[in-house]
Amino acid sequence: MKYIALTVLMALFTVGGYCMIETLSLETLVQSSDVIALVDVVGVKSVGRMPSKVEVVANLVTVNEPLKGGVAVGESLKIKTYRGIEDNPDLVEGSRVLLFLNRADNHYTVVNGVQGWWPVDEDGKFMAMGKGTSLDEVKEAIKLPPQAKPARPKLSL
């Protein structure tokens, strides 16, 4: 009996412990974003901590090449990120990144954590979750018509 209980308990821990970022397709990532832009990170500043001890970070970026969302070259955007949360982007002052963003009050947030943050290397290629994807592929995905959302069955009581 002890072995059965122990086996069930271990199975529950194994199933319940699985946590990973849900990876979106490029098309879904693009469609989920209000703004997509190649930016230069010009400022990173800690602005406090949440009760859970997670650090809140205010990032200032300058738009280098806007791709979606009506932002202009040279425009400054404020982006809120968090330190101390797994799968959260870590913007670095002086770096260039492609960002997939959503508007929130007076700032932006990165879509789907690290998936919406693609650092650019010295050769102009994307790193992190953008590795192997070109800027032209992103531009083509922006041109695609919106995907149909799955129909939800009507519930009746």
Cβ neighbours of residue 125 under 8 Å, at least 6 residues apart?
A: 131
Inter-residue contact 45 to 58 (CB < 8 Å): yes
- Name the percent of the chain lying above pLDDT 70: 81
Go through the domains of the chain in sequence order and give each one's CATH number.
Answer: 22-143 (2.40.50.120)
> Residue 17 above 50 pLDDT?
no
Sign of CA dihedral 137, 139, 144, 148: positive
Is the model's pLDDT at 74 over the cut of 70?
A: yes
How much is the pLDDT for 111? 97
CA–CA gap between residue 113 and residue 128 (Å, rounded): 12
Report how far residue 119's alpha carbon sits from residue 7's, in angstroms, rounded to the nearest whole number: 44
- Closest by CA to 117, choosing from 46, 33, 55, is 33
Average pLDDT (83-109) is: 94
pTM of the model: 0.81
pLDDT by residue (tens digit) across 2-11?
Answer: 656 546 555 5
Per the CB < 8 A criterion, the answer to whether 133 and 26 are in contact is yes
pLDDT-based confidence at residue 132 (cuts at 50, 70, 90):
very high
Q: Which residue has the higher pLDDT, 70 or 10?
A: 70
Query: pLDDT tens-digit profile of 98-131?
Result: 999 999 999 999 999 999 999 999 999 999 999 9
Name the pLDDT band for 12 (thresholds 50, 70, 90).
low
Residue 21: is its pLDDT beyond 90?
no
In angstroms, rounded to a whole number, what is the distance separating the alpha carbons of residues 3 and 25?
42
Cβ pair 61, 81 in contact under 8 A: no
Q: What is the mean pLDDT of the chain?
A: 88
